[in-house]
Amino acid sequence: MSAPQLFDLTGKVAIVTGSTKGIGRAMVQGLAESGAKVVVSSRKQELCDQVAAEVASSTGAETLGLACHVGDWDGIPDFVNSVVDRFGTIDVLVNNAGINPAPTTVSEMTIEYWRKMFNVNLEGPLRMAQQVAPVMRDNGGGSIINIVTMAAYSGGPNVCAYGSSKAGLINLTKSMAQEWAPWKIRVNALCPGPFMTEMVAGAERVREGFIDMIANGTLMKRVADAEEIVGPVLYLASDASSYVTGDEISVSGGMQK
């Protein structure tokens, strides 16, 4: 099979949570350009519809904008059922949605903040994968990609809840991969380093020099553009990674784990 065919997703159905902005927005664009039918999802239906229409217009792909709060455990089954009703199957799930509001130190941590972080960043991917996996199993397999962070390895006083929830997601990724390999479902994690997002731009406005600081934590001494996540996502979503599961791949400009 040639290299272009390896990355071809024609006819595949891909869900990307948290895909109306940032790296999630770049992912749905890239998946659609590679032939996939894409589900654009975030908490706001109007924004989902807008981005789905933009992707369809620019790529010709079939798209669906469908709101879902991944922290709503009981709401996720209806979301997955709606996708299956529309497309008949699900081949790729990218658990990208996550939060890191107002970073809080260990000393100042509240149980409400902690639980909110784990609800969205860890329980959400668990529930979404639980609901999608049987669909993949019944249709011959699929690929689940959990978006983690390099902070899962290093920790830090201001990212303790965020990093801890994402470290848990790495462990969950390995458990899913082991359990679902007989179903021909591959499960892997991508661990981004610093990417230029609205959150990073906002931090720079509040704290001048923030972008330079995080860039200096990489070997390449720069912050990535959102589109630089697309290649790794396509690799894990497609047959190019047919023998890869239970792994975590850093996309971080050389940051050390």
Helix (H) or strand (E) holding 46: helix 45-59
Please report where in the chains the tokens 């390999």 appear, as a residue: 181
3-state secondary structure (DSSP) of residue 92: strand
CA atoms within 13 A on the CB side of 257: 11
Q: Which of 113, 153, 162, 243 is catalytic?
A: 162
SS3 category, 90: coil
Which residues have C-beta within 8 Å of that of residue 43, sequence separation ≥ 6? 67, 68, 69
Q: How far, in Å, CA of 109 to CA of 71, rounded?
A: 20
| Residue 235 annotated as catalytic | no
Phi, then psi, of 165 in degrees rounded to 5: -65, -40
Enclosing H/E stretch for 198: helix 198-206
CA dihedral 127, 130, 136, 142 (to 10 degrees): 70
By annotation, the residues acting in catalysis are 162
